[in-house]
Amino acid sequence: MSFPQRYGPWALVVGAAVGLGAEFCRQLAERGLNLIMVALEKDELDTLATDLTQRHGIRTHAVTGDITAPDVLDSVALLVEDVELGLVVYNAGLSICGMWLDVPLERHRRVVDVNISAMMTVLHRFVPPMIERGRGGVVLLSSMSGLLGTPMYGSYAATKAFTLNLAETLWDEWRPHGVDVVAVVPGPTDTPGYRADAPRPVRNAPKVMPVAPVVAEGLAALGKQPSVIPGRANRRNGILLSRLLPRKRAVALMGTAMREIYPGQ
């Protein structure tokens, strides 16, 4: 069965305008999928939708807004009612860099709203028809920060651990019904969000990956395994930190590295 037959003819990409989300849109368009694209950045989203339509001859619907807002979710639902949705990519995410108590509680809650609550709502609302149809796919964006406690990114890391565990759970629960799930677990990736935190170049820091191979490895893993860490070096680091080192040593190393990469936070 071809990719469009298995996961088409329409895909929903949340967090679609820039970075990994935009690259998911590009690679899915190259595979012939039509796109419902949701993001906050109107100009970037509209430009991307127009470009993909012209370049690949696909259909696109661009929805500008915050996926945590009920009216935005309702707008997406109206579009989904009129199409056969075969793939959901939840890429919307929010991170906060800083010592945990230095960050206002409402900002922590906002991270949970975007990274967890809205993701669960999207899945609960749009996956059941895939299960009834007996085919489809879900891609959830986790992070290597979710493999262990990550000082200075505590709430973000916690939400990405949730995402990874949920994806692996749903991989097992939904595969008998023909719906594939994969958690993509990137390391440092060259996205606007990563650059906005202004990481300091340090010796022996993990290499920053471009978005294209991260997305390509994620899509290649869909239907084959419950989770994937893109990049050979990232996979080695993931095994070292989450399996080989004692937990307290791994978290302490992560804390030292993060304070060096983000001094003054």
Q: Which among 88, 25, 81 is positioned nearest to 53, based on CA atoms?
A: 25
Least confident among 83-92, 106-115, 145-154, 187-196: 187-196
Least confident among 97-101, 124-128, 142-146, 196-200: 196-200
Helices (H), 36-117: 42-56, 70-81, 105-112
DSSP state, residue 240: I
The Cα–Cα gap between 176 and 188 comes to: 34
Q: How confident is the model at residue 265 (pLDDT cuts 50, 70, 90)?
A: low
Q: How confident is the model at residue 192 (pLDDT cuts 50, 70, 90)?
A: confident
Higher pLDDT, 197 or 143: 143
The Cα–Cα gap between 75 and 60 comes to: 14
The Cα–Cα gap between 46 and 4 comes to: 23
End-to-end CA distance of the chain: 50
Contact status, residue 142 vs residue 181, Cβ threshold 8 Å: no
Whether the pLDDT of residue 204 is over 80: the answer is no
Please identify which residue in the block is written with the tokens 């935005």: 72
Number of domains in the chain: 1
Percent of the chain beyond pLDDT 70? 96
The Cα–Cα gap between 116 and 142 comes to: 11
Contact status, residue 54 vs residue 83, Cβ threshold 8 Å: no
Q: What is the CATH number of the domain that holds 100?
A: 3.40.50.720
Q: How confident is the model at residue 233 (pLDDT cuts 50, 70, 90)?
A: very high
- List, in sequence order, every residue forming a beta bridge with 139; answer none if it has no partner: 89, 182
pLDDT tens readout for residues 79-97: 999 899 999 999 999 999 9
pLDDT of residue 178: 98
Whether the pLDDT of residue 264 is over 70: the answer is no
Cis preceding-peptide flag for 70 (omega within 30 of 0)? no
Residue 214 structural domain: 3-261
Whether the pLDDT of residue 2 is over 70: the answer is yes
Which pair of structure tokens corresponds to residue 133?
């149809």
- List, in sequence order, every residue forming a beta bridge with 141; answer none if it has no partner: 184
Summarize the confidence of residues 236-257 as an average pLDDT. 92
